[in-house]
Structure 1
Amino acid sequence: MAFLELLDQVGGMGRFQVLQAIALVVPIMLLTTQNMLENFLAAVPSHRCWAPLLDNTSAQASLPGALSPQALLAVSIPPGPNQQPHRCRRFRQPQWQLLDPNATAASWSQAATEPCVDGWVYDRSTFTSTIVTKWDLVCDSQTLKPMAQSIYLAGVLVGAAVFGHASDRWLPESARWLLAMGKLDRGLRVLQRVATINGKKAVREALTMDVLLSAMQGEPSTGQAPASLGTLLCTPGLRLRTWILVLCWFSFAFTFYGLALDLQALGGNIFLLQALIGAVDLPAKLVALLLLSRLGRRLPQAGSLVLSGLCILANTVVPYDMGAVRSALAVLGLGATGAAFTCINIFTGELFPTVVRMTAVGFCQVAARGGAILGPLVRLLGIHSPSLPLLVYGGTSVLSGLVALLLPETRSLPLPDTIQDMQNQAVKKAAHGTAEPSVLKSTRL
Structure 2
Amino acid sequence: MAFEAFLDEVGGLGKFQILQFVLILPSLMITVCQILLENFTAAIPHHRCWVHILDNATVSDNDTGLLSPDVLLRLSIPLDSNLKPEKCHRFLHPQWQLLHLNGTFPNMTDLDTEPCVDGWVFDHSLFSSTIVTEWDFVCDHQSQKPVAQSMFMAGMLVGGFIYGHLSDRFGRKLILRCCLLQLAISGTCAAFAPTFLIYCSLRFWSGCSAVAIVANNNMLIIEWTRSQSKAVMLTLIGCTFSMGQMMLGGLAFVFREWRTLQLVVSVPFFVFFLSSRWLMESARWLIITNKPDEGLKELKKVAHRNGMKNAEATLNMEGLRATMQEELEAAQTKTTVFDLFRTPNLRKRTCLLLFVRFAVTVPLYGISMNLQHFGSNIFLFQVIFGALATIARCLALVILNYKGRRPTQMFFLFLVGLSILANTFVPQEMQTLRVTLASVGISCIAAAVTSYCVHCDELMPTLLSAKAVGLDMMVIWFAATLAPLLMTLVVYLRSLPWIIYGVCPIFSGLVVLLLPETRNMPLFDTIQDVENK
- TM-score category (smaller protein): 0.7 to 0.9
CA distance in 1, matches of 2:342, 2:101: 75
**Structure 2 residue ranges without an equivalent (≥5):** 175-219, 221-279
SS at match of 1:373: helix
- Correspondence 1:137 to 2:137: yes
Match of 1:246 among 354, 359, 363: 354
**In 2, are the aligned partners of 1:36 and 1:260 still within 8 Å (CA)?**
yes
1:4 offset after TM fit, Å? 4.5
SS where residue 109 of structure 1 aligns?
A: helix
What is aligned with 2:21?
Answer: 21
- Note if contact 1:221-1:355 (Cα within 8 Å) is conserved in structure 2: no
Counterpart in the other structure of 1:69:
69
TM-aligned CA deviation for residue 345 of structure 1: 1.8
CA distance in structure 1 between the aligned counterparts of 2:154 and 2:457, rounded to whole angstroms:
25
CA distance in 2, matches of 1:302, 1:221: 39
> Partner amino acid for 2:522?
P
- Within the candidate set 328, 334, 337, 1:229 is matched to 337
How many angstroms does 1:104 deviate by?
5.7
Shift of 1:402: 1.5
TM-superposed deviation, 1:400: 1.3
Distance 2:64 2:483 in 1: 53
Q: Which moved more, 1:84-93 or 1:194-203?
A: 194-203
Comparing 127-136 with 152-161, which one deviates more in the overlay? 152-161
Q: Distance in 1 between matches of 2:35 and 2:318?
A: 49
Shift in Å, 1:161:
4.3
Deviates more, 1:220-229 or 1:77-86: 220-229
State the SS of the aligned residue for 1:204.
helix
Contact map agreement 1:177 1:354 (CA 8 A) in 2: no
Q: What displacement does 1:177 show?
A: 6.6
Work out whether 1:10 is the aligned partner of 2:10.
yes
**Shift in Å, 1:126:** 1.6
Unaligned runs of 5+ in 1: 427-445
Alignment equivalent of 1:194, drawn from 283, 293, 302? 302
What is residue 465 of structure 2 aligned with on the other side?
A: 357
SS of equivalent residue, structure 2 residue 86: coil
Aligned position for 2:88: 88
Compute the displacement of 1:189 (Å).
4.6
* Superposed displacement of residue 102, structure 1: 5.3
State the alpha-carbon separation in 1 of the partners of residues 32 and 407 from structure 2. 27
Correspondence for 2:515 among 407, 411, 420 = 407
1:388 aligns to what? 496
Q: For residue 39 of structure 2, what is the aligned residue in structure 1?
A: 39
Structure 1: how far apart are the matches of 2:317 and 2:124? 68
**Aligned with 1:260 (options 343, 363, 368):** 368
Question: What is the TM-score of this pair, normalised by structure 1?
Answer: 0.87
Residue identity in the other structure for 1:13: L
Do the aligned partners of 1:226 and 1:355 also contact (CA within 8 Å) in 2? no
Q: Measure the CA separation in 1 of the matches of 2:458 and 2:133.
A: 48
What one-letter code is carried by the residue in structure 2 that aligns with 1:250?
Answer: F
Deviation per CA, 1:259-282, whole angstroms, max 9, x where unpaired? Answer: 211100123522222221122011
- The separation in 1 between residues aligned to 2:373 and 2:481, in whole angstroms, is 18
Based on CA coordinates, which of the two structures has the bigger radius of gyration?
1
The 5 A counterparts of 1:123-162 are: 123-162=123-162
**Separation of aligned partners in 2, 1:174 and 1:413:** 27
- Distance in 1 (alpha carbons) for counterparts of 2:16 and 2:529: 29
SS for the counterpart of 2:114 is strand
Match of 2:486 among 378, 381, 387: 378
1:345 is aligned, of 449, 453, 457, to: 453
What pairs up with 1:312-351 in 2 under 5 angstroms? 312-351=420-459
Query: Equivalent residue for 1:113?
Result: 113
Range with greater deviation from structure 2 (406-415 or 153-162): 153-162
Secondary structure class of the residue paired with 2:63: coil
Q: Kindly indicate whether the alpha-carbon contact (under 8 Å) linking 2:78 and 2:91 is maintained by their aligned counterparts in 1.
A: yes
**How far apart are residue 328 of structure 1 and its match?**
0.5
CA distance in 1, matches of 2:378, 2:97: 39
Higher mean alpha-carbon deviation, 176-185 vs 294-303, is at 176-185
Aligned-residue offset at 1:57: 3.8
| Mean CA deviation greater in 391-400 or 195-204 | 195-204
Which residue of the partner structure matches residue 184 of structure 2? none
The more displaced of 21-30 and 70-79 is: 21-30
- Contact kept, 8 Å, 1:16 with 1:197, in 2: the verdict is yes
Q: Deviation at 1:422?
A: 2.6
Alignment correspondent of 1:98: 98
Displacement of 1:194 in angstroms is: 3.0
Q: Go from structure 1 to structure 2 and tell me whether the alpha carbon gap of 1:328 and 1:262 turns closer, same or farther (over 3 Å shift).
A: same
**Comparing 8-17 and 43-52, the one that deviates more:** 8-17
**TM-score, with length taken from structure 2:** 0.74
Q: Identity of counterpart residues, as a percentage?
A: 45
Q: Which residue of 2 aligns with 1:168?
A: 172
Amino acid at match of 2:59: A
AA paired with 1:143? Answer: S
The range that moved more, 101-110 or 372-381, is 101-110
Over 3 Å counting, the alpha-carbon distance change for 1:44 and 1:64 in structure 2 is closer
Q: Determine the C-alpha separation between the residues in 2 that align with 1:103 and 1:112.
A: 20
Name the counterpart of 1:291: 399
Instruction: Evaluate the alpha carbon distance shift between residue 3 and residue 32 of structure 1 in structure 2; reply closer, same or farther with a 3 A threshold.
Output: closer
Choose 82-91 or 197-206, whichever is displaced more: 197-206
Q: For 2:108 and 2:331, how far apart are their aligned partners in 1?
A: 81
Matched, 1:418 2:526: yes
SS in 1 for 2:109: coil
Equivalent-residue separation in structure 1 for 2:461 and 2:284 (angstroms): 11
* Alpha-carbon displacement from aligned partner over 1:136-164 (angstroms, at most 9, x marks no partner): 11001100001100001222333444555
Offset from partner CA, 1:79-106 (integer Å, 9 cap, x none): 1232100000011111111111258655
Cα offsets for 1:354-381 (capped at 9, x unmatched)? 1101101110111000000000000111
**Partner Cα distance (1:107, 1:406) in 2:** 57
- Paired with 1:222 and 1:364, the residues of 2 have a C-alpha distance of 23
Distance 1:268 1:191 in 2: 52
Q: Give, in whole Å, the separation in 2 of the partners of 1:267 and 1:193.
A: 51
Q: CA deviation at 1:290?
A: 0.6
With 267-276 and 164-173 compared, the bigger mean Cα shift is at: 164-173
Q: Contact 2:173–2:281 at 8 Å: present in 1 too?
A: no
User: What SS does the aligned partner of 1:59 have?
Assistant: coil
Cα shift at 1:128: 1.7
Displacement, 1:335?
0.8
Q: Partners of 1:276 and 1:386 in 2: how far apart?
A: 26
Paired residue secondary structure (1:63): helix
Change (3 A) 1:89 1:64: closer
Q: How far apart in 1 are the matches of 2:448 and 2:64?
A: 65
Which SS does the other structure have where 1:67 is aligned?
A: coil
Distance in 2, Cα, partners of 1:408 & 1:24: 34
1:281 has 2:383 as partner? no
Tell me, in whole angstroms, the C-alpha distance in 2 between the residues paired with 1:310 and 1:125. Answer: 35
Specify whether residues 315 and 127 from structure 1 end up closer, same or farther in structure 2 by C-alpha distance, changes over 3 A only.
same
Aligned equivalents of 1:107, 1:341: Cα separation in 2: 50
Alignment RMSD (CA, Å): 2.6
CA distance in 2, matches of 1:64, 1:359: 70
